[in-house]
Amino acid sequence: MFKKKEKSIKEKKVRTVKVGTHKKSVIALWLVLAASVSFGVYKNFTAIDRHTTHEKEIIELRLNDTNGIENFVKNFAKSYYTWDNSKEAIEKRTASINAYLTKALQDLNVDTIRTDIPTSSTVSDVQIWNVAQSGENEFTAAYEVDQQIKEGVQTRAVSATYTVTVHVDADRNMVITKNPTLAPTYQKSAFEPKTQEADASVDAETMQDAAAFLETFFKLYPTATEKELAYYVQGNVLEPINGDYLFAELIEPVYTAADGKVKVTLSVRYLDNSTKAAQISQYDLILSKEGDNWKITG
């Protein structure tokens, strides 16, 4: 009886199926998993690259599109540096500059112009020297203001350079977040370009021949049409100017040989018939000789 029962239990034992890693279905699953991970990694890096490129494009756009900031600062400066010492004029100035300033700066500038100061001011010019990005949405503008300061019966010219910081939001709305701060005046650079010097690479006969060609050309140039220029100039090296100028002279042309051609650096003096003043233009040209004829090719 016990043997029969034991046999029955063994017959009811659940069968198990062993799956080896060598089966084709398992290999396929591993391949799918590897492909998924690879695709995820690729998408992640691609997303980073695209995000970086997008951020770079935004920064370049902000740096290049500064006309709005320049106009904003110019209009502010015209209001800020114009005043009269009457109560009505001061109130008008305050209302005007408050349209550009944060609340904190409005409070800071309350007493900058008072009725007891002896001067009045008008702005004759505002020049924007530089606009540079100083934060994610912050730009610092350097500008120069020319004022006419009147005190009693005397008027004097005053010029100074300042910087302000402008915040630009996502809708291109702007507000000044840093008050006009004195800055160094831009100075003339001491740089002097290297003077082109003549050498013995071009003989005297060639220089005389080239000079005769240039005199002929520059006499015709002010009124020459595009079709007429084609006889003297290759392509669009020099464009038509259609001006009322009378040729006077070539000034100190310097000739040097350059790859079988002649390079000439010169100034050309014209009389401007409209203004009656002398007009001196400077050129760096490449001359090529085709047969007996010269042509400006560069």
Task: Give the DSSP letter string of 234-293.
Answer: STTSS------EEEEEEEEEEEEEETTEEEEEEEEEEEETTT-SEEEEEEEEEEEEETTE
- What's the chain's average pLDDT? 85
Average pLDDT over residues 75-99: 96
Q: Is it the case that residue 90 has pLDDT exceeding 60?
A: yes
pLDDT value for 7: 46
pLDDT at 8: 47
- Write out the residue limits of the CATH 3.10.450.540 domain(s) in the chain: 67-183, 204-296
Least confident of 25-29, 81-85, 169-173, 178-182: 25-29
Give me the phi and psi of 176, to 5 degrees please.
Answer: -85, 125
pLDDT value at position 64?
Answer: 56
Tell which residue, 95, 170, 112, has the closest CA to residue 137: 170
For residues 1 and 204, which has the higher predicted lDDT (pLDDT)? 204
Q: Does domain 204-296 have CATH number 1.10.10.10?
A: no
pLDDT of residue 23: 55
What pLDDT sits at residue 43? 56
Residues 207, 251, 257, 198: is their CA dihedral positive or negative? Answer: positive
Residue 19: pLDDT band by 50, 70, 90 thresholds?
very low
Classified by CATH at the fold level, domain 67-183 comes out as Nuclear Transport Factor 2; Chain: A, (3.10.450)
Structure tokens at 267: 């100034």
Q: In the Cβ-directed half-sphere of 147, how many Cα atoms lie within 13 Å?
A: 21
pTM of the predicted model over 0.85: no
